[in-house]
Structure 1
Amino acid sequence: MIQTIDLRGTPTTPAALLAAVPRALTTVTSASDIAAELIADVRARGEVALLDQAERLDHVRPQHVRVPAEHLVEALAGLDPAVRAAVEETIRRVRLASAAQVPPAVTTTITAGATIRQRWQPVNRVGLYVPAGKAVYPSSVVMNVVPAQIAGVSSIALASPPQSRFDGRVHPTILAVAALLGVNEVYAMGGAGAVGAFAYGVPGLGLDPVQIVTGPGNVYVAAAKRLVRGQAGIDSEAGPTDILVIADAGADPLLVAADLVSQAEHDELAAAVLVTDSVGLADAVAARLVTLAATTTHTERVTAALSGRQSAIVLVDDLAVAAAFSNAFGPEHLEIQTSDPEAVLATIENAGAIFLGPHSPVSLGDYSAGSNHVLPTGGQSRFSSALGAYTFLRPQQIVSYSREALQAVAANIAAFSKAEALPAHGDAVTARFVDDHTAGKTSN
């Protein structure tokens, strides 16, 4: 079912490892043309385009693109008590973890009369995307909304695709969690069109453009986020999920296989990768995958994901090479199931979220760890990070100098301006130190 990539005895340079990384043929780049068309359609035709796209792609034409307030109230009233309790506990945990991501304001005194204040200013308005295709993700409502609220964002809009089995409404559990969190601006729109609507606005709906678009989705959502970057900020390109497990001979093959399957059930393009220096573990996990794939609920989806070119069992000479391969892969989710996970962790540079030991599965992070599950996929963790309160914050430097403090560096500024052939820069400083008559000032 799952392919084996044997890297034992082969070069382990960063370039060689990057070339060995398994990836799906369907990439964000390949989805860009379609995503661009959908975005352009929304910009040109607004609400009508969103309705037409819903009918074509979600197989239902919603009665309302903007969700009426009563739908939110009804959904919250009908929320299963057990689900509500689970959601409320996850909200509590994610709030705690998100609060730790807000840096304090800091004032640095450079010299007497010269200070630089560093403050973290939230954006005013964000658009949060919650997928609902092959599965429903009320947990993603929590993961999107809570960090934005902790950061101090004052205007939050949320979008999720309309559901044919609910007469074109957003899934009631998603609506219920939005209501629980106090989000009342919700739209029944999905995919690249929703991302475009957030970035450029839809006047006919009263949907104002947002400053940042966040949230996971399929490859077209990821492509759309790449396309609108510049018009709006984004968190990362969170497309089809991936998991990489580093494990040694002491790992439990059943647990490793179960964790690979847990992510493979998201999408046929999901990547499930085991990297190990143990042939015995590799063989045992491969056998377990066959059994689990045949008996899990989403057998066809899991089998397709595990059989795809993006999934593999990778054999390496030792755990140092395993860590180097993981850094080249840049996993969304990294599990370390080794005899000394902390030692391996010390060599890890790139990962969206890291799970240590046999009792910290990715599923824990998906729901109840307190960490955020909106993570960079497709190798994006090599330069992007998980969604957090910091996603919605901008560091701003506030400079305050007295006359005396400025005078102390005036000669330096003049020297720089001369060296760069920008004399007006220096003149703007020296103008502050001439007498009133020379400066052309008048007095009453």
Structure 2
Amino acid sequence: MSAFSFPVIKPSEVSMTNKDPVDPVALEQSRAIVNKLKDSTTRSSTLMEIGLQFGDIPSSSTTYIIPKSEQKAAYDSLPPDQRRSLDNIHSRVFSFAQAQRSAITDISVPIPGGHAGHRVTACRVAGCYAPGGRYPLPSSVVMTTATAKAAGCDVVVLASPKPAQITKAAAYVSGADVFIGVGGAQAIAAMAYGVPGEGETPSIPPCDIICGPGNKWVTAAKSLVNGHCGIDMLAGPSEVLVICDGSADVPTVAADLIAQCEHDVVARAILVSDDRATIDKVMEETERQLTLLPEPNRATAITAYNSGFAVECKDLEECVRVSDIIAPEHLEVMCKGEEEIARKCRCYGGLFIGRNAAEVLGDYGAGPNHTLPTGGTGRYTGGLSVFSFLGIRTWIKIDDTKGSKEMVEDTVVMARCEGLEGHARAAEKRL
């Protein structure tokens, strides 16, 4: 019996995948941690206690704060090629975020008797989370922290458990103002509610928004604090969808499916094509390449691959419709007329056009953010960006009462239509 299972289904069998990303068991476990920290009168000691309990903090440590000096020492200790790559990735991500920031500006437009407009301002304190599980993810440090900095946030708090040297170095390069070495629900609670300083341990300011990928406890905790502060999204398992035809380079398509599968056993790889022969070739090549992947990546990738599927469509137009229904986190388009097909796609997190635009380049800092919507939420939202940290706040100013007379009279009429006499009288004071 084959170790591989990658079914080929019809477009009619594809359904929307809006699954609840919050695990119910993780939710209750996270609730207990969040409440314990929120209700504590000595949050610093409580955070230290929880961090030690879950192994976030070494037992020999006396603080959960990773000071700037330790971050710099980690950066200085890296081999030259790692420092260079980290600097380059930060530069590309920060430059792209700056370009996004400059794309939206303050406006002022005339209205009867005055002007109205909006101001674009950054939130004061941003909380950024970077996972620290099986693999260190310095790229997530850069993606979140550098983007918040480019937005203009006054303070950026970074949280990551058991940070590796490369993670500390990424924090240094990205300019994190406060770095706490804890993870999970306890990190989210600490950033949401803040932690007063205690002894030589500095305070953690309460964050206006918390962003970044994490495990099921991080996601659950973000759902609990949402409303008290903002969050970027509730992310589920990572996913990639590849649209290809008979012209696609089969080994490249296979390699990209595998790259996604090695993220996690619950990651999803989806192949959508108008050519059954290409589907069969990609499946055969993927399974061949999977056997060559080193452990433990191979076991993880095979499990994830077996939860994926292929969709055989009648033409590329149908491929686009299927992709929009699924709304994948990552969408790769490798076919003839790829730019035209890519323009027709509307629902996705990040788009990668052509053979050379590998999804993994997006993972590691081509410029756009890699924190993207999953589980079908790409139908109504995009990924983390500089805009996640910005507020667009409107204003009006009336300095010509004669010019505003008709607008005020319209307000009086409409207020009385709605039965709001107090509103009507307030407007009449301006006549």
**Which TM-score applies when normalising by structure 1?**
0.88
Instruction: Determine helix, strand or coil for the equivalent of 1:100.
Output: helix
What do the CA deviations read for 1:227-273 (whole angstroms, capped 9, x no partner)? 22111111122343111111111111111110011111111111111
The answer to whether structure 1 residue 242 and structure 2 residue 251 are counterparts is no
Kindly indicate whether the alpha-carbon contact (under 8 Å) linking 1:134 and 1:267 is maintained by their aligned counterparts in 2.
Answer: no
Match of 1:187 in 2: 180
Distance 1:381 1:292 in 2: 30
Match of 2:357 in 1: 360
Match of 1:34 in 2: 29
What do the CA deviations read for 1:109-168 (whole angstroms, capped 9, x no partner)? 124x42112111110001100112121111111111122111110011000012xxxxxx
Distance 1:152 1:382 in 2: 28
Shift of 1:53: 4.2
Among candidates 387, 412, 415, match of residue 414 of structure 1: 412
Residue ranges of structure 2 left out of the alignment (5+ in a row): none
Distance 2:56 2:225 in 1: 26
Distance 1:381 1:22 in 2: 10
The answer to whether structure 1 residue 285 and structure 2 residue 282 are counterparts is yes
Instruction: Determine helix, strand or coil for the equivalent of 2:205.
Output: coil
Matches within 5 A, 1:71-220: 71-102=70-101, 103-111=104-112, 113-162=113-162, 170-203=163-196, 206-220=203-217
Residue ranges of structure 1 left out of the alignment (5+ in a row): 163-169, 434-444
Kindly indicate whether the alpha-carbon contact (under 8 Å) linking 1:157 and 1:186 is maintained by their aligned counterparts in 2.
Answer: yes
Match of 1:326 in 2: 323
**Which TM-score applies when normalising by structure 2?**
0.90
Q: How many residues align?
A: 414
Instruction: Determine helix, strand or coil for the equivalent of 1:399.
Output: strand
Shift of 1:226: 2.1
Shift of 1:35: 2.7
Match of 1:166 in 2: none
Q: For the structure 1 residues 22 and 153, does the alpha-carbon distance in structure 2 shift closer, same or farther, using more than 3 Å as the test?
A: closer
Among candidates 369, 373, 385, match of residue 372 of structure 1: 369
Distance 1:328 1:32 in 2: 28
Shift of 1:302: 0.8
Q: For the structure 1 residues 65 and 76, does the alpha-carbon distance in structure 2 shift closer, same or farther, using more than 3 Å as the test?
A: same
The answer to whether structure 1 residue 7 and structure 2 residue 16 are counterparts is no
Kindly indicate whether the alpha-carbon contact (under 8 Å) linking 1:94 and 1:371 is maintained by their aligned counterparts in 2.
Answer: yes
Instruction: Determine helix, strand or coil for the equivalent of 1:355.
Output: strand
Q: For the structure 1 residues 314 and 47, does the alpha-carbon distance in structure 2 shift closer, same or farther, using more than 3 Å as the test?
A: farther
Letter in 2 for 1:223: A
Shift of 1:22: 10
Instruction: Determine helix, strand or coil for the equivalent of 1:119.
Output: strand
Kindly indicate whether the alpha-carbon contact (under 8 Å) linking 1:221 and 1:239 is maintained by their aligned counterparts in 2.
Answer: no
Instruction: Determine helix, strand or coil for the equivalent of 1:222.
Output: helix
Q: For the structure 1 residues 301 and 48, does the alpha-carbon distance in structure 2 shift closer, same or farther, using more than 3 Å as the test?
A: farther
Shift of 1:204: 5.0
Q: Percent of aligned positions with the same letter in both sequences?
A: 30
Instruction: Determine helix, strand or coil for the equivalent of 1:404.
Output: coil
Distance 2:50 2:255 in 1: 36
Among candidates 227, 230, 233, match of residue 230 of structure 1: 227
Instruction: Determine helix, strand or coil for the equivalent of 2:7.
Output: strand
What do the CA deviations read for 1:306-346 (whole angstroms, capped 9, x no partner)? 123xx112222222222122112121110011111122223
Distance 1:188 1:123 in 2: 23
Shift of 1:86: 1.1
Shift of 1:431: 1.8
Distance 1:228 1:326 in 2: 32
Distance 1:351 1:320 in 2: 16
Bigger drift between 75-84 and 199-208 goes to 199-208
Tell me the C-alpha RMSD between the 2 structures.
Answer: 2.1
What do the CA deviations read for 1:294-313 (whole angstroms, capped 9, x no partner)? 211311111111123xx112
